[in-house]
Amino acid sequence: MKEEFFVSGRNIPNIDPSLHIWHWQIPAYLFLGGLAAGILFFAGLYTVLGKEKEMPTAVKWSTFIVPFALAIGLFFLFLDLKHKMYFWKLYTVIRLESPMGWGAWTLMIITPLSLIWSASYLKELIPGWNWKFEILNKFEVFVIKNRKYIAWLLIVYSAILGIYTGILLSAFNARPLWNTSILGPLFLTSGLSTGAVTIMWMSKNHLERKMMSKIDLILIGIELFLITHLFMGFLASTEVQIESAQLFLGGAYTYLFWGGVVGFGLIVPFLLEVLELRGVKIPAAIPAIMIIIGGLLFRFVMVDAGQLTRYLY
């Protein structure tokens, strides 16, 4: 029999017996960041491709969600901070090695960008809208003229943001479950997928809907592939990672992950979308909502389960 325990100390709330420093705020923040990244990515993409006309929801209307998503996300991050009044210290230094810092700065850039972007379409959304100050009008003219360049920025920064939501976790190699380079692309894909279905859901344009649905099917495919890879990687790795994979292969998170995230959040909506594309009448909202819930759940599960995994020594 092996016995291992703390004789003293280490009975600290939220650290022992298992880490629980991050609660709902961080996964919600990661989810919103991913969603925003997804939407902005497509807005940038179709602008660069010159498809503003064909893809109006992707380029214009859906982006109105983004500043809100980012602001709420940042607020959640703020809620998570334990030393809140020192929040501003985040912006006194640039620490490239810190994913947290990276994210803060990415948000610092992408939030105004998204604001500017959607604002520049405000007159199209609300006819007769008038900027009160002349300078804003002038700025609007400038933005509209340079949309293509801004679109490039959006593509770059949304990709960074999307990857960041995964890297924030994977940078912590102390948590074996997170310690995998697949998490970045996986969260990026998931973010793009939630963005895509949001556009699909909002879109009134049949062709645009079809387009986003097709893209989403590809994204779901990639996601499933990455998830398979994730587990193959774990099982071929160190003891701690094998153990962390067990959380999903018979352990506490098995049902939630395979039933909730993969089944409810990926495979069922995938099938629904395929049927839709084949002409079966299914409201776009249904797969969209399932994917969004799935994406949210995914982040909750990963953040929660990751904190349970640790090094053995």
Partner 1 sequence: MRYAMAVDTKKCVGCSDCVVACQAENKVPIGFCRDWVVEIVTGKFPEVKVELRSERCNHCKNSPCVRCCPTGASHYSDGGIVMVNGDDCIGCGACIQSCPYDARYSHPEGFVDKCTFCQHRVTRGYKPACVSVCPTNCLYFGDLDNPKSDVSVALQKRKYKVLAPEAGTKPQVYFLI
Partner 2 sequence: MSSRRDFIKITSVGGAGLFAAGNVAAKYFNPGKNMKGTIQRTPTYCEVCFWKCSGWAHTNENGELWKVVGNKKDPLCNGRLCPRGSGGIGMYNDPDRLKSPMIRIEERGKQVFKEVTWHKALEYVAQKMEALKEKHGAESLALFNHGSGGKHFSNLVKAFGSTNIVAPSYAQCRGPREAAWIATFGTAVNAPEPTDIKNTNCLVLIGSHIGENMHNTQVQEMSEAIDRGATIITVDPRLSTAATHSKHWLPIKPATDIALLLAWMHVIIYEKRYNHEYIEKNTFGFKELKEYVAEYTPEWAAGITNLKASQIRETAREMAFHAPSTIVHPGRHVTWYGDDVQRVRCIAILNGLLGSFGTKGGFYMQTKASVPTFSHPPYPQPKWSWKDFLDGKFPSAEINVSNAMIDASHPDNQSDKKIKGWIVVGTNLINTIPNTPRTIEAIRNQDLVVVVDTMPMEITGWADVILPECTYLERYDDLRVSPERYATLALRVPAVKPKHLTKPASWIVRRLGLKLGLQDYFNYSDFSEVLDWQLKQMGSSLAEMKKKGVTVVDRPESSLYLPKDEPVQLKTKSGKIELYSQLLEEQGFDPLPKYTAHPEAPDGFYRLNYGRAPMHTFTRTANNPNLSDIMNENRLWVNPQVAENHGLKMNQMIWLENQDGVLSEFPIKVRVTERIGPDCVYMVHGFGHNNKRLKRAHGKGISDTKLITRVAIDPIMGGTGMRGNFVKFLVEEPKKEVES
Residue 7 or 126 with smaller CB distance to partner 2: 7
Q: Phi and psi (nearest 5°) for 253?
A: -100, 5
Alpha-helical regions (H) of 126-205: 134-145, 147-170, 183-202
20 binds, among partner 1, partner 2, none (CB under 5 to 8 A by kind): none
**1 near partner 2, rule: CB under 8 A:** yes
**Listed residue (21, 30, 41, 112) closest to 74, CA to CA:** 30
CB 171 within 8 A of CB 30: no
Cβ-contact 191, 35 below 8 angstroms: yes
Q: Lay out the site mask for partner 1 across 56-95 (x = CB under 8 A, - = otherwise).
A: ---------------------x--xxxxx-xx-xx-xx-x
Q: Is residue 113 helix, strand or coil? A: helix
Interaction between residue 181 and partner 1 (CB under 8 A) = no
Q: Which does 177 bind (CB under 5 to 8 A by kind): partner 1, partner 2, none?
A: none
Q: Is residue 4 involved in binding partner 2 (CB under 8 A)?
A: no
Taking CB under 8 A as the criterion, which residues in 91-120 touch partner 1? 92-93, 95, 97-102, 104
The CB-of-191 to partner 1 minimum distance in angstroms stands at: 20
> From residue 254, how far is each of 43, 187, 250, 251 by CA, in Å?
36, 19, 5, 6
Q: With contacts defined by CB under 8 A, name the span among 7-15, 84-92, 245-253, 258-266 that binds partner 2.
A: 7-15
| Amino acid of residue 271 | L
| Cis peptide bond N-terminal to 17, omega within 30 | yes
Residue numbers at the binding site for partner 2 (CB under 8 A): 1, 3, 7-9
Residue numbers at the binding site for partner 1 (CB under 8 A): 1-16, 19, 21-22, 77, 80-84, 86-87, 89-90, 92-93, 95, 97-102, 104, 171-175, 238, 307, 310-313
